[in-house]
Amino acid sequence: MALFVRVEARAAEEVRRRLLEEGVLDPDIKPEKEDGYVLFPVLRPVEGYVHVEREGKRFRRRGSYRDYVNVPPDIIPLLPSSFDIVGDIAIVRIPEEIMDYAEEIGRGIAMAHRNVRLVAADMGVEGVERVRRLVPIYGSGGFETVHREYGVRIRLDISKVYFSPRLATERWRVAEQVRDGETVVDMFAGVGPFSLLIASRRRVTVHAIDINPVAIEYLRRNIRENRLVGRIVPHPGDAREIVPRLGKCDRVIMNLPHSAHTFGDAVAKVSREGTVIHLHCIGDGRERAEMLRTFISDLRAKGVEPRVKFARKVRDYSPGREHFVYDIIST
């Protein structure tokens, strides 16, 4: 017998993420549907949920992609330990010393993940528009895909716009805080993952800004395809110039972690008492502390008194450097 928690279908994705993060979701048993509810298998009882017991169906595991890769034994320890899947495209960073095995690595990923039609090597993010340089190593088709996240469809060309699936939990965390009637400024919106999720859950006005014209075109298409016309206002151009023209707002999202801290002057123009700012920073502890000091100092110089109320590590970025988000409130 397997133990399940029973949740309403409309809350299923939120609950699944929570169970996964808490380490209680049973990875070997398939979830089930039942009359408007979803049953999630759990490893132990979880407080606050209705529990049921029944015979569960086990997944047929494909195993790690490494099980499908045919490389010399001395190469196996060098194989990438992780990769991203955006829609039906897998993106993997491959160490330079094993690039000769790129096609074989791509084949292994595609074999282990049958929903993947194209595997590409990530050669790094370039330019102010944060676009990945991608090289196809296995599969077929172009770089346009549709990524699904918490019920939202995100259409994009991953070779022309920036997008990271690793921020899904952070996007949900912010969306949960938003209340009906808020005015939100998404300063570096890209194709709209923050904006789309927020607007799909709340009656809000989101000003979504991006300097990449291709990202803005995909954002407009995503607004239409998710039936969110009227809730998200796209703004093509430089956030430094656009933000000061928008008027006061309730929330600012600053997902540009290498340089968002330099936009304090613009953010001060739209801040009022109670405005919440989600500032993203990447660096080691010293670098992040300096970024935060710079940002707060610039706000104070413009008459805004900020207070950091929450800090969270979003992900590891590189050895010794981490991606953090700081929730800052204007008082």
**Running DSSP on this structure, what letter comes out for residue 83?**
-
- Domain locations in the chain as residue ranges: 2-54, 65-142, 164-330
- CB 302 within 8 Å of CB 270: no
Cβ-Cβ contacts under 8 Å for 77 (sequence gap 6 or more): none
> What would the two tokens of residue 48 be?
């606050």
Angle between helices 193-201 and 213-225 (to 10 degrees): 20
Q: Is the dihedral of CA 256, 261, 266, 268 positive or negative?
A: positive
pLDDT at 61: 54
The values of phi and psi at residue 42, to 5°, are -130, 155
The domain made up of 2-54 is a member of CATH 2.10.109.10: no
164-330: which CATH architecture? Answer: 3-Layer(aba) Sandwich (3.40)
**Contact between residue 50 and residue 3 where contact means Cβ atoms under 8 Å apart:** no
pLDDT of residue 32: 93
Fold of 65-142: GMP Synthetase; Chain A, domain 3 (3.30.300)
What one-character DSSP code corresponds to residue 229? B
Count Cβ atoms below 10 Å from residue 149 Cβ, excluding itself.
16
DSSP secondary structure code for residue 73 in this structure: T
For residue 74, give both structure tokens: 């001395």
**Tokens describing residue 263:** 């936009």
Backbone dihedral region for residue 149 (phi beyond 0: left; psi -120 to 50: alpha; all else: beta):
beta
**Beta strands 118-126; 89-92: pairing state:** parallel
pLDDT of residue 60: 62
CB 21 within 8 A of CB 46: no
pTM: 0.80
Return the sign of the alpha-carbon dihedral for residues 103, 105, 106, 107: positive
- At 14 the pLDDT is 85
| Mean pLDDT, the chain cut into blocks of 10 residues (331 residues total) | 90 84 79 92 87 82 81 92 94 95 95 92 80 93 94 95 93 95 97 97 97 97 97 97 96 96 96 97 96 97 96 91 96 88
pLDDT attached to residue 283:
96
Which pLDDT score, from 0 to 100, does residue 194 have?
98
Q: DSSP string of 259-317?
A: TGGGGHHHHHHH--TT-EEEEEEEE-HHHHHHHHHHHHHHHHHTT--EEEEEEEEEEEE
CA 62 vs CA 56, 65, 116, 222, 274: distances in Å:
19, 8, 14, 33, 49
Q: What pLDDT, on the 0 to 100 scale, is given for residue 129?
A: 67
